[in-house]
Chains A and B, each alone.
Chain A
Amino acid sequence: MIIELLTALPSAAPHIEGYVYPNEQTLLWSVLIVIYPYITGLVAGAFILASLVRVFRVSELEPAYRLSLLTALAFLLVAPLPLLFHLGHPERCYEPVITPHLSSPMAMFGFVYAWYIMAVLLLELWFDYRKDLVEWSKKERGVRAWIYRLLTVGVHDVSEPALQLDARMAKAITIIGIPSAFLLHGYVGFIFGSIKANPWWGNPLMPIIFIFSAVVSGIALCVFIYLILNRLRGLPQDIDCLDAMGKFLFLALVIDASLEALDWVHRLYAAEESIHVLKSLAAGKLFYSLLVVQVCMGTFVPLVLLGSIQLFRKRIAEGVRRWTYFGCSVLILVGVLAMRWNVVIGGQLFSKSLRGFTAYKFELAGQEGWLVALFLLLLPFLILAVFIRYFLPLKTDAGVHPLTELPDHKAV
């Protein structure tokens, strides 16, 4: 009878090592929750890059200003979708806004999101584009004119004092926008950092690490899109703009890498109860995604390459620099995605009993599958393509590059 029972027992599934609490055997949060912080991070980072132009007057970045803002908006529009799709009851998604439980960081999502998209991003874009919208709505015909006219919200005043007010407002909004971008992504980091039950997540550094990896990924995304867009449109690449982006990408990457290193140094030195399980996690199940992809390819290689360009810029040919920026941006984008994977999936691979591991099961189709995640990662690029078509026109009346005519700088 004992033998019968033993063979009949659906005992620990083959993918379990050691002991995990029974309810922990399957991963609750999957790829959708991996790409959610990834997408919001890209938003925050792209916005920070744009704010460098407005607030810190980094004039080299002007050619990428509007592109960064539109990129941020395109990704922000998609940001809530992975959250929505992963809910057990998506039809109840209004509840966190109607009865927000103030002690829950997740309840803040609706408010932080609404604030960021309406009070920051859309407003800044509106003030920045208002003059153009009025002009375009007069010049264009058909649907286009309609769209532009709708977006003016009935304000057609493009007199000099009105444009000066626009510039002042846009600057004020950018100044509010920087802490808001930090809030948007710091909050995402806090969702994980606040879970004290999980030693991999519950960490006060988590929001800060999230913010800086967000800045890194956002700038890398802007570099990537800027290079691709100019290539597609057959425009010359503005190497000064690229060098400036490369410089800020390097700075952000240095801070990000230091913070993550500090996190590990602290973990290893403090060596709390959980350190053994975390060490075997890093050396085992997360070896490729953490040590190879995130640390080596996503952080170390770009650091060396971008650092060399900072040191020997004059001696490196423009073409080489362009390709290096392109390569680094791709590596960083993949590396930060791996970082999100390591946090979200890695945090669920070990048991809170600290006695064992479970495994991630690959799922292609299905609600939380890779296909949905891939679609959600591509969707912002489609939205951005539409934005670019409507709001980054190729030719202008004066024949000058449209982005160098920022009202802010004209007014000053």
Chain B
Amino acid sequence: MKSPPTPAHVQPLNRRRWLAVLGSSLAGLFSLVPSRRAEGGGRERQKEAAMPDGYDPTRHRWLMALDINRCIGCALCVAACKTENKVPPEPTYFRTWIERYIIRKPGPGSGELRGSTIVDSPNGGRDGFPPSAIPRDQILRSFFVPKLCNLCEQSPCTQACPVGATFQAPDGVVLVDPHYCIGCGFCIQSCPYGCRFLNPNTRTAEKCTLCYHRITRGLKPACVEVCPGGARIFGDAMHPLPDDPLSEFVAKNKVQTLKPYLGTGPRVLYAGMDKEVR
């Protein structure tokens, strides 16, 4: 039943591989199935889409960081993401979006240092941010916060997927397999950051892929490419380039993550965060 694996796809037995083997044998026991179709035995192997030349997902660990002080709220990133990834145009589907936080001045004699916080994100920021209706003299402080998939180490979305259609790839990117997703929406409910949506055209879950089709070709993600302020910092934590912006970013800034108390271990780092950001 089991054809011998050909040397072309023999994997080094690292920890990840062992976990996969352990997982599949557990599942095998669980369902009393002695063997699965051996990898490479089927016809699917031949028509499997190849990775771009020389790209090995086990030799990278991609990561994005965000510098809130550098975000100018142009939201060119949101528009670029929608174009690059063919995200549905409606204002309810975003792989990345920009939030505007406005903290009002406190009322006189209120005993507070800061007033109420107003958050908005008109059309995800896709059309830019015209000045808000709140007059400048009532604003204590205001800033923009870019949001995207937090690339959680203990991602609740991949944990929740019943079929293994969403997963963290060896290079750290959390992806959705559009040909395997059943569209149940459990991952969307499980994401504490609202980063997922059900694409109405494909009827499968969708999310930021860090522009997987770009980074595997040596390009930057579209949002990083067009960001004029340098608010989005992208790099490889495993094999950083000599002038890697990520290393510089973490050396210079105190960084935080979103909702750390949920234990999701977000890998996306934020500098210049405020307590009101959730």
Q: Judge whether B164 and A88 touch: CB under 8 Å.
A: no
**Cβ-based interface call for B219 (8 A):** no
Interface size of A by CB at 8 A reads 52
With the chains together, A101 CA to B30 CA distance in Å? 11
**Cβ-based interface call for A112 (8 A):** no
**Cβ-based interface call for B209 (8 A):** no
Q: Judge whether A106 and B160 touch: CB under 8 Å.
A: yes
Query: Using Cβ atoms and an 8 Å threshold, which residues of chain B touch A101?
Result: 161-164
Q: Which of A49-57, A322-330, A346-354 contacts B (4 or more CB under 8 A)?
A: A346-354
**Cβ-based interface call for B39 (8 A):** no
List residues 101-125 of chain A with CB under 8 A from any CB of chain B: 101-107, 109
The chain A residue with its CB closest to the CB of B166 is A101
Q: Are A106 and B94 CB-contacts (below 8 A) given A88-B204, A89-B203?
A: no
Q: Judge whether A103 and B123 touch: CB under 8 Å.
A: no
A91 smallest CB distance to B (angstroms): 9
Query: Using Cβ atoms and an 8 Å threshold, which residues of chain A touch B196?
Result: 23
List residues 232-278 of chain B with CB under 8 A from any CB of chain A: 262-263, 278
Q: Which of A140-148, A177-185, A190-198, A249-257 contacts B (4 or more CB under 8 A)?
A: A190-198
List residues 91-118 of chain B with CB under 8 A from any CB of chain A: 91-94, 97, 99, 118
Q: Judge whether B119 and A107 touch: CB under 8 Å.
A: no
With the chains together, A22 CA to B185 CA distance in Å? 16
Q: Judge whether A93 and B182 touch: CB under 8 Å.
A: yes
**Cβ-based interface call for A87 (8 A):** yes
List residues 246-290 of chain A with CB under 8 A from any CB of chain B: none
The chain B residue with its CB closest to the CB of A96 is B162
Query: Using Cβ atoms and an 8 Å threshold, which residues of chain A touch B183?
Result: 87-89, 92
**Cβ-based interface call for A213 (8 A):** no
Q: Judge whether A104 and B160 touch: CB under 8 Å.
A: yes
Q: Judge whether A22 and B162 touch: CB under 8 Å.
A: no
Q: Judge whether A198 and B121 touch: CB under 8 Å.
A: no
Query: Using Cβ atoms and an 8 Å threshold, which residues of chain B touch A351?
Result: 194
Q: Judge whether A196 and B262 touch: CB under 8 Å.
A: yes
The chain A residue with its CB closest to the CB of B101 is A19
**Cβ-based interface call for A26 (8 A):** yes
Taking a contact as CB atoms closer than 8 A, the residue among A2, A89, A96 that contacts B130 in the complex is A2
Query: Using Cβ atoms and an 8 Å threshold, which residues of chain A touch B198?
Result: 28, 88
Taking a contact as CB atoms closer than 8 A, the residue among A83, A102, A352 that contacts B30 in the complex is A102
**Cβ-based interface call for A135 (8 A):** no
Query: Using Cβ atoms and an 8 Å threshold, which residues of chain B touch A71?
Result: none
With the chains together, A233 CA to B243 CA distance in Å? 85
With the chains together, A12 CA to B125 CA distance in Å? 11
Question: Which of B162, B181, B196: most chain A CB closer than 10 A?
Answer: B162
Query: Using Cβ atoms and an 8 Å threshold, which residues of chain B touch A20?
Result: 194
Q: Judge whether A353 and B119 touch: CB under 8 Å.
A: yes
With the chains together, A18 CA to B23 CA distance in Å? 44
Q: Judge whether B194 and A23 touch: CB under 8 Å.
A: yes
Q: Judge whether A21 and B193 touch: CB under 8 Å.
A: yes
Number of A-B contacts (CB under 8 A): 153
**Cβ-based interface call for B122 (8 A):** yes
Taking a contact as CB atoms closer than 8 A, the residue among A22, A109, A195 that contacts B91 in the complex is A22
Q: Are A355 and B122 CB-contacts (below 8 A) given A21-B194, A28-B189, A96-B162?
A: no
Q: Are A11 and B94 CB-contacts (below 8 A) given A95-B163, A103-B159, A106-B160?
A: no
A4 smallest CB distance to B (angstroms): 9
**Cβ-based interface call for A99 (8 A):** yes
Contact with B along A188-211 (1 / 0, CB 8 A): 000100111110010000000000
**Cβ-based interface call for A9 (8 A):** yes
The chain B residue with its CB closest to the CB of A20 is B194
**Cβ-based interface call for A24 (8 A):** yes
Taking a contact as CB atoms closer than 8 A, the residue among B27, B94, B160, B184 that contacts A88 in the complex is B184
Query: Using Cβ atoms and an 8 Å threshold, which residues of chain B touch A107?
Result: 162-163
Query: Using Cβ atoms and an 8 Å threshold, which residues of chain B touch A105?
Result: 160
Query: Using Cβ atoms and an 8 Å threshold, which residues of chain A touch B193?
Result: 21, 352
With the chains together, A88 CA to B196 CA distance in Å? 15
Q: Are A22 and B97 CB-contacts (below 8 A) given A10-B91, A100-B162?
A: yes
With the chains together, A354 CA to B277 CA distance in Å? 11
The chain B residue with its CB closest to the CB of A19 is B119
Q: Judge whether B182 and A22 touch: CB under 8 Å.
A: no
Q: Judge whether A106 and B186 touch: CB under 8 Å.
A: yes
B170 smallest CB distance to A (angstroms): 17
List residues 132-186 of chain B with CB under 8 A from any CB of chain A: 147, 156, 159-165, 180-186
Q: Judge whether B189 and A89 touch: CB under 8 Å.
A: no
Q: Judge whether B120 and A19 touch: CB under 8 Å.
A: yes
Q: Judge whether A22 and B164 touch: CB under 8 Å.
A: no
**Cβ-based interface call for B79 (8 A):** no
**Cβ-based interface call for A217 (8 A):** no
Query: Using Cβ atoms and an 8 Å threshold, which residues of chain B touch A83?
Result: 184
With the chains together, A104 CA to B159 CA distance in Å? 6
Question: Which of A8, A86, A92: most chain B CB closer than 10 A?
Answer: A92
Query: Using Cβ atoms and an 8 Å threshold, which residues of chain A touch B164?
Result: 99, 101
**Cβ-based interface call for A29 (8 A):** yes
Q: Judge whether B203 and A88 touch: CB under 8 Å.
A: yes
Query: Using Cβ atoms and an 8 Å threshold, which residues of chain B touch A28?
Result: 185, 188-189, 198
Beyond contacts A107-B162, A352-B193: 9 other A-B pairs, Cβ-Cβ < 8 A, are A19-B99, A21-B97, A24-B194, A29-B185, A92-B182, A96-B182, A102-B30, A195-B160, A351-B194
Question: Nearest 10 A-B pairs (CB), nearest first?
Answer: A88-B183, A21-B194, A88-B203, A197-B192, A107-B162, A11-B122, A106-B162, A19-B119, A95-B163, A23-B197
Q: 30 A-B residue contacts at CB 8 Å?
A: A2-B130, A5-B127, A11-B123, A13-B91, A19-B118, A19-B120, A21-B97, A22-B93, A22-B123, A22-B194, A23-B93, A25-B91, A28-B188, A86-B184, A88-B185, A92-B183, A95-B162, A100-B31, A100-B162, A100-B163, A101-B164, A102-B26, A103-B159, A104-B162, A106-B162, A106-B186, A197-B156, A197-B189, A351-B194, A352-B194
